[in-house]
Structure 1
Amino acid sequence: MKTTINEVNKFVGQDVTIGAWVANKRSSGKIAFLQLRDGTGFIQGVVVKTDVPEEVFQKAKSLTQETSIYVTGTVQEDSRSSFGYELLVKDVEVIHEAHDFPITPKEHGTEFLMDHRHLWLRSRRQHAVMKIRNEIIRATYEFFNDNGFTKIDPPILTGSAPEGTTELFHTKYFDEDAYLSQSGQLYMEASAMALGKVFSFGPTFRAEKSKTRRHLIEFWMIEPEMAFYQHEDSLKVQEEYVAHIVQSVLKNCKLELERLGRDTSKLEQVKAPFPRIEYDDALKLLHEKGFNDIEWGDDFGAPHETAIAESFDKPVFITNYPTSLKPFYMQPHPERPEVVLCADLIAPEGYGEIIGGSERIYDYELMKKRIEEHGLGIDAYQWYLELSQYGAVPHSGFGLGLERTVAWISGVEHVRETIPFPRLLNRLYP
C-alpha cells in the first residue's frame, strides 16, 4: 500500500511504501534509525539487523543525507515521538543517491542558508513555518468565503500609486510608464461597488531600502473591501478574521508549533474582541514609558509599537492617527478633522503592525481635494474619482501582511523565513 507520512495513522499494523528523502541517519551495530521526510511530514524509520536481509541493513546504514528512496515497512505507534508513529522498515529502494548535501545538521550562518534557500526549505523548521503559512492561507479563504466575500484579483501592473509613495518599482508598459503594485486597494474599492464585500490575496511590492526583520521587498497581502461598512464595522471583521486564523493554526498545526518551540499559551488568548487605544492615548502611554522624543504628529516606529503592545495580552488596535500621517483616501473623523477614521493592528511580542485599515472617503469634492493636496495628478486617478460620482456609499477596508502574520503566529524572528523565496534589499537569488 503506497501512502504518505501524514496518512500513516490509517495503517497501523499494516505494511506501507512511502517515497521519501533521508533527512538524517544514525546507527548502532544492530539498529539503524532513519529520519525520513516526504513533504507531508517527518517519521522515523527503524531498521533492525535481525529482521531484514543483510543487504537491506547495509543499504540502510550507507544511506546519505537527502538520498531519495522508496521505503517499505510496518506502521506502528510510538508514544515517545510527538508524531506518534514510526516505521519498522523491511525494505529500502534507492531512487537517487545524494552526496555532500551542503546543509548539514551543524550550525550554518544566515547568509549561507539564504544562498541555499532552495535546499534550506527542506529542514524541519522551514517545513513547519511553510505549513503554518499554508494553514493561514487556507483559513483566510475559509473565513471570507463563509462570510459572503467574493475573491477578486487586482492587477499587478498599475499606472499609479495607491498610497502616493515614490517607493515603487518602475517598468515600461510598451510606450507608457507602469509600476509593480504596492496595493490592490483602489481596485478592490471599485470591486466592492460592484459586488458588495470582496477580498484579494496576492503579491505586492515596496521599493523600500529597509533591512529590518519586518520588511520584505515582495510580500503577500490579503485586502478585503466592504461597501456600506463604516469604520467600526470593519474593526469587527478584522478582529474576527485574525482570531479565526490564529485558532485555526492552533487546531491544525500543533506539531509544527511544537517543532518551532512556540509558546501557544499566548496565542490561545487571541480571541475577539481586541483592545483599542487612540493615537493620543498611545502617545501618552509612550511618554509614561520614557519615549519623550516623540510628539503629536510623529509616526510610531518599531520600538514604539512594541512598547504599546507590551501593555496588552492580545493584538491591539491603535486608532485615529493624525491625517498628515496617512494616505489621501482615509475618511476624516466627523468631530476631529485633524485625525482620520483608521486603525493599525499591532501584534503582541514585538511583531509590529500586521493590519492597516480605514473607512474610505466617498465624498467626490473631498476626494478630489485630497488627491490634489498629495500632488498625485487628477488624470491618473480619474477612474477612481468616478467611484465617488456614481452611487457613492460609505465603505471600509484593510490590508493584512501575510509574512508578518506568519512570523508572529509561528514565533520566528525574521520575515525572511516566512516566505518561500524572500526578496530582500540585496537579495534576488535564488
Structure 2
Amino acid sequence: MKTTISQAAKHKDQEVTIGAWLTNKRSSGKIAFLQLRDGTGFIQGVVVKNDVSEETFQRAKSLTQETSMYITGKIVEDTRSSFGYELQVSDIEVIQEAVDYPITPKKHGTEFLMDHRHLWLRSKKQHAVMKIRNEIIRSTYQFFNENDFVKIDPPILTGSSAEGTTELFHTKYFDEEAYLSQSGQLYMEAAAMAFGKVFSFGPTFRAEKSKTRRHLIEFWMIEPEMAFVDHEESLVIQENYVSYIAQSVLENCKLELEVLERDTSKLENIKAPFPRITYDEAIELLKEKGFDDIKWGEDFGAPHETAIAESFDKPVFITNYPAEIKSFYMKPHPERSDVVLCADLIAPEGYGEIIGGSQRIDDLALMQERYEQHGLTGPAYEWYLELSKYGSVPHSGFGLGLERTVAWLSGVEHVRETIPFPRLLNRLYP
C-alpha cells in the first residue's frame, strides 16, 4: 500500500511503501537508522540486517544524503519519537542516487544557505517554518470565510501608489507608466462597496532599500476591507483574527513548533482582547524607558516598537497616530484634527508591527482636500475619488504582513526564512 509519512498513524502495524528522500543516516553493525522525509513529514526508518536481504542491508548502508527512493516497511508505534511512529524497513528501491549534496549536516553560513535556498527548503527547520506559514494561510481563509468575507483579487500592476510614496517599482505598461503594487487596499475599498466585507491575499512590493531582519522587497499581505464598520469594530475583528491564526498554529503545528524549539507558552496567551494605548501614551512610555529624544509627531522605529511591546504579554494596539505621518485616506479623529483613526498592532518579543489599519475617509469634500494636499492629480486616482462620491459609507480596513507574522509565531529571527524564495536588497537568486 502506497502512503505518505503524514498518514502513518492510519496504517499502524501495516506494511506500506513511501516515496522518500534520505536526510541523514547512521549505522551500528547490524542495524541502520535512516532519517527520511517525503514532503509531508519526517520519519525514521530502521533496517535490521537479520530481517532483510543482504542486498537490501548493504543498499541501506550505502545510501547518500538526498537520494530518492521507494521504501517499504511496517509502520510501528515509537514512543521515543516526537512523531510517534517509525518504519521497520523490509525493502528499498533507489530512484536516483544523489552525489555530493552541498548542504551537509555541518553548520553553513547564511549566504551559502541563501545561495542554495532551493535546497535549503528541504531541511527540517525550514520545512517547519513553511508548514506554519501554510497553516496561517489556511486558517486565514477559514476565518474570513466563516465571517462572511468575500475573497477579491486586486491587480498587481497599477497606475498609482496606494500609500502616496515614491518607494515603488516602476515599469512600462505598453505606452503608459505603471508600478508593481505596494498594497491592494484602494481596490479593496472599491470591492467593499460592492460586496460589504472582502479580503485579499497576494504579493506586494516595496522598493525600500532596507536591510533589517523585518523587511523584504517582495512580501505577501492579507488585506480586509469592511463597509459599515468603524474603527473600534475593526480593532475587534483584527484581534479576533490574530487570535484565531495563533491558536490554529498551536493546535495544528505542534511538531513544527517543537522542531523550532518555540516557547509555546508565549503563544497560548495570544487571545483577544488585546491591550490598547494611544500614540500619546506610547510617547510617554518611551520617555519613561529612556528614549528621551523621541518627539511627538515622529514615527516609531524598531527599537521603539520593541520597547513598547516589552510592557505587554500580548500584541498591543497603538492608536491615533499623528495625521502628518499617516496616509492620506485615513479618517481624522472626530475630537482631534491632529490625529487619525488608525492603529498599528505590535507583536511581542521584538517582532514589531504586524498589522496597520484605519477607518477610511468617507466624506467627498475631505477626500478632495486630501487629494490637493498630496498632489494626487490625473486620471490614475480619479476612480478612487469616485468611491467617496457615489454612496460612500463608514468603512475600515487593515493589512497584515504574512512574513512578519510567520516569523513571530514560529520564533525565527529573520523574515528571509519565512518565505520560500526571499527577495532582498541584494538578492534576486535563486
Per-residue CA deviation, residues 374-407 of structure 1 (Å, 9 max, x unaligned), is 1222532110000011001000000000000000
Determine if contact 1:372/1:378 at 8 Å carries over to the other structure. no
Equivalent residue runs for 1:369-380 within 5 Å: 369-380=369-380
Aligned counterpart, 2:295: 295
CA–CA separation in structure 2 for the residues paired with 1:173 and 1:313: 48
Determine if contact 1:320/1:333 at 8 Å carries over to the other structure. yes
Equivalent residue runs for 1:197-212 within 5 Å: 197-212=197-212
Aligned counterpart, 1:328: 328
Aligned counterpart, 2:99: 99
Give 5+ residue unaligned stretches, structure 2: none
Aligned counterpart, 1:412: 412
Query: Scaled by the length of structure 1, what TM-score is found?
Result: 1.00
CA–CA separation in structure 2 for the residues paired with 1:112 and 1:227: 48
Structure 1 counterpart of 2:253, which letter? C
The share of aligned pairs that are identical, in percent, is: 81
Aligned counterpart, 2:150: 150
Equivalent residue runs for 1:310-329 within 5 Å: 310-329=310-329
Structure 2 counterpart of 1:256, which letter? E
CA–CA separation in structure 2 for the residues paired with 1:236 and 1:401: 18
Deviation at 1:371, TM superposition (A): 1.7
DSSP 3-state at the match of 2:387: helix
Aligned counterpart, 1:181: 181
CA–CA separation in structure 1 for the residues paired with 2:371 and 2:218: 26
Structure 2 counterpart of 1:91, which letter? D
CA–CA separation in structure 2 for the residues paired with 1:147 and 1:118: 37
CA–CA separation in structure 2 for the residues paired with 1:309 and 1:378: 42
Determine if contact 1:354/1:401 at 8 Å carries over to the other structure. yes
CA–CA separation in structure 2 for the residues paired with 1:416 and 1:21: 25
Aligned counterpart, 1:77: 77
Equivalent residue runs for 1:185-196 within 5 Å: 185-196=185-196
Aligned counterpart, 1:344: 344
Determine if contact 1:368/1:378 at 8 Å carries over to the other structure. no
Structure 1 counterpart of 2:255, which letter? L
Is 2:140 aligned against 1:140?
yes
CA–CA separation in structure 2 for the residues paired with 1:145 and 1:278: 31
Query: Scaled by the length of structure 2, what TM-score is found?
Result: 1.00
Determine if contact 1:371/1:378 at 8 Å carries over to the other structure. no
Is 2:258 aligned against 1:270?
no
Deviation at 1:256, TM superposition (A): 0.1
CA–CA separation in structure 2 for the residues paired with 1:115 and 1:392: 50
CA–CA separation in structure 2 for the residues paired with 1:422 and 1:232: 35
CA–CA separation in structure 1 for the residues paired with 2:123 and 2:213: 21
Is 2:218 aligned against 1:214?
no
Aligned counterpart, 2:26: 26
RMSD after superposition: 0.5
Aligned counterpart, 1:248: 248
DSSP 3-state at the match of 1:337: strand
CA–CA separation in structure 2 for the residues paired with 1:196 and 1:318: 26
Per-residue CA deviation, residues 355-378 of structure 1 (Å, 9 max, x unaligned), is 000000011111111122112225
CA–CA separation in structure 1 for the residues paired with 2:345 and 2:155: 26
Is 2:196 aligned against 1:233?
no
Structure 2 counterpart of 1:137, which letter? I
CA–CA separation in structure 1 for the residues paired with 2:108 and 2:259: 19
DSSP 3-state at the match of 1:220: strand
Equivalent residue runs for 1:13-92 within 5 Å: 13-92=13-92
DSSP 3-state at the match of 2:336: coil
Structure 2 counterpart of 1:269, which letter? N
Aligned counterpart, 2:281: 281
Structure 2 counterpart of 1:65, which letter? Q
DSSP 3-state at the match of 2:385: helix
Aligned counterpart, 1:382: 382
Give 5+ residue unaligned stretches, structure 1: none
